[in-house]
Structure 1
Amino acid sequence: MAEEKELILWGATSPGEILEEKLQEMNVDVNDFAARIGYTPKTVNELLKAKCRVTVEMAYSLEFGTGIPQYFWLEAQKQYERDLWREKIKKSLKKSVVWRKFFPIAELNPRTWIKDFNNKEDGVTPILKFFGVASPKAWENYYYKNRLKVAFRISLAETEDPYAASVWMRRGEILADEIKMEKQNDKKVRSAIKKAMPQFVELAKNDVAAWEDLRHKKALPKPKVGEDFIDDGMHKLQELGAKLGIKVLYAQNFKSAPIHGMARWYKDIPVIQLHDRFKDRNAFWFTFFHELGHIVLHGKKDIFIKNVYYGNKNQQKDDEANAFAQKYMVQAGLEDSRIP
């Protein structure tokens, strides 16, 4: 039993290396062993040199020939293949270090969005896990080329900084997944939003008044660098949205991708994602109403990103969302503070 435990620790080696040591211990040559287990010497030699895999059939034959259980040989084969792939991936990721540098490293460092972001082994794996992609090429295909465009009719290729924009978008997806909510029917959601517009208007009016009061008292909150910021007014907006079947999210954007708002249907749930560092509260509410307008007026197959140019941006739909926002800003008695 102790001997088997010692062999199991050799998971980084091939089954053939383990077998070679066992044959030496048994004082049996390859030809004799091959005859005992019903294989040709050529096959056994290929196994010893890791040129063939241990199959289920072979594992049972090895158990009869060596006394070591079949499950050990099968697990040794699996472990060996895992190690080979791990090394292959490591070599591949070392070549991808340059890819990491395209992301807004300085602004990401204070944030906790990407787990183990600055690990010493490699700086690429944490980014891949954050995006849920297998390689930089997969990221490129999804966010920069065709996949995202196929799913949502946009591509980030024409944005000023697709790397920063993709991080902000992905952060929203992660935040959305943390909020448990049933899938929504688009017609019912739109109807519910229209009925609830007086509530949104009242909330906006009270929130801006409270914000102005804090401004006069010179008591405006100062969000910490690197932390997502949600004050009382933003939290109330989030709660009202949730009652109607909308996820309202807040995430700090990046200097090179100054996105202030985004509207989309994500996993059959309408999502509005807003920047959390608005200096002008009127601008915050105009942006929210603008994105809400997209949810009410436009289809489920579009992503609408405010304040950033991207390929296939529909100016007519953007103008319609502006008109929607302006209408409710007027009702709330607020200035039409549009982000240029």
Structure 2
Amino acid sequence: MENKIQNQYKPNYVSPPGETLLEVLEERGMSQAELAERTGRPKKTINEIINGKAAIISETALQLERLLNIPASFWNNREQRYREFLARQEEQERLKKQVEWLGMIPVKAMMKFGWIQFYQDQVEQLREVLNFFAVASPEQWEEIWSSNHIYFRKSQTFPSDPGAIAAWLRQGEIAAAKIACAKYDANSFRKVLQNIRTLTVEPQEIFQPQIIKLCAESGVAVVFVPELPKTRISGATHWLNPDKALIQLSLRYKTNAHLWFDFFHEAGHILLHGKRDFFLEGIDTLSTEDEEKEKEANQFSENILIPQGQLKKFLASGKQRTKAGIEEFAAEIGIAPGIIVGRLQHDQVLPPSHCNDLKQKLKWV
């Protein structure tokens, strides 16, 4: 996406409605004291309105309409615009002091992917990033995206960047909001997964949109979001609401073996674990309970892709040592041979350098 500099006109001054009121009074030869008397308002209040120190409330606007024959809506609108202008000026000063926070966020990478737009003005750029996260300030971002969320525990092996992880997760939420899903149904989702398994033999341009479509029919939004630098996250699963789950995939390893394992792993979390759980793949420092859930999801993915009984029979045949044998077994159980290679490498049956040409390379489509 081409980054464009935004040139939106915003007035740097809005006069208080009291200035207009004073002009009208002078045109009609009416003093502030007379206006106070006719409206029943204290003279001090009228003077404060004229000097912008007090607001024109709706009741006063109606009185001005009656006395000056100028619609109450005019006064209300002038007052609203003026107060909004003051609020924006206050926000501008506050945000000026907070632009350094942008250093925590991968702004350039987000612009590269088209998630946010470029602004020359740093305060405007800060507003753009806050809009992306749907928070009012960096303090609220810290509260929502860092302090209260378990998924910012740092990996001992690959230290991750909280700002980048938050941006990646937020983009997943934005993408998922655009997917219309049926109400979640566990039985339907289980059946859908069996249908999706048959798609492993298809090229990416066919299986990717089909995954999204089929899962949406069972209440699961599947989104593919490019990995940001320093995230080191391959997938995530959580519930957007009680009727809609989210599976988010990054294509981090860029092979069908990893993608399909990750997809069914995340699907396992949805079927096996609670709706309040949040799973982020790539985090190594987990609690005992979380580690057990990860093992369960791993087992679910392994079994649905390559049933244990069929795998044992295949290993006993000795055919796992040749590409021809792997391709024959893949055709027999109806999945892509690259998935079998990935499993054999993971189980140390094959060295990591063997048969990688059977894996399908993936790209962003």
Give the deviation of 1:158 after TM superposition.
4.3
C-alpha RMSD over aligned residues: 2.6
1:79 aligns with 2:81: yes
1:254 matched to which residue of 2? Answer: 228
8 Å CA contact 1:145, 1:155 repeated in 2: no
1:245 corresponds to which of 219, 225, 230:
219
| Count of aligned pairs | 297
CA distance in 2, matches of 1:310, 1:124: 32
1:169 matched to which residue of 2? Answer: 169
Deviations, residues 67-88 of structure 1 (Å, cap 9, x unaligned): 3222211211111111111111
Compared with structure 1, are the counterparts of its residues 48 and 310 closer, same or farther at alpha carbon in structure 2 (3 Å cutoff)? Answer: farther
1:320 aligns with 2:263: no
The SS at the match of 1:24 is helix
Amino acid aligned to 1:306: E
CA distance in 1, matches of 2:239, 2:47: 58
8 Å CA contact 1:144, 1:157 repeated in 2: no
The correspondence of residues 34-183 of structure 1 with structure 2, limited to 5 A, is 34-114=36-116, 116-118=117-119, 120=121, 122-146=124-148, 149=149, 154-156=150-152, 158=154, 160-183=160-183
8 Å CA contact 2:151, 2:278 repeated in 1: no
Give the deviation of 1:277 after TM superposition.
4.9
1:200 matched to which residue of 2? Answer: 196
CA distance in 2, matches of 1:257, 1:273: 13
Deviations, residues 14-70 of structure 1 (Å, cap 9, x unaligned): 121212222222233322332233222212112122222212221122233333222
Give the deviation of 1:246 after TM superposition.
2.1
Deviations, residues 137-180 of structure 1 (Å, cap 9, x unaligned): 1111111112xx4xxxx252647211111111111111111111
Compared with structure 1, are the counterparts of its residues 67 and 297 closer, same or farther at alpha carbon in structure 2 (3 Å cutoff)? Answer: same
1:330 matched to which residue of 2? Answer: 306
Compared with structure 1, are the counterparts of its residues 232 and 36 closer, same or farther at alpha carbon in structure 2 (3 Å cutoff)? Answer: same
1:6 matched to which residue of 2? Answer: none
Q: Unaligned stretches of 5+ in structure 2? A: 1-10, 308-334, 347-365
Compared with structure 1, are the counterparts of its residues 45 and 307 closer, same or farther at alpha carbon in structure 2 (3 Å cutoff)? Answer: same
1:302 matched to which residue of 2? Answer: 277
CA distance in 2, matches of 1:311, 1:199: 32
8 Å CA contact 2:265, 2:300 repeated in 1: yes
Q: Unaligned stretches of 5+ in structure 1? A: 1-8, 211-229
CA distance in 1, matches of 2:209, 2:66: 67
TM-score (normalizing by structure 1): 0.79
The SS at the match of 1:52 is coil
8 Å CA contact 1:260, 1:307 repeated in 2: yes
2:312 matched to which residue of 1? Answer: none
1:288 matched to which residue of 2? Answer: 263
Q: Which has the higher contact order (CA 8 A, sep 6+)?
A: 1
CA distance in 2, matches of 1:127, 1:296: 34
Give the deviation of 1:298 after TM superposition.
0.8
Amino acid aligned to 2:107: I
Compared with structure 1, are the counterparts of its residues 309 and 134 closer, same or farther at alpha carbon in structure 2 (3 Å cutoff)? Answer: farther
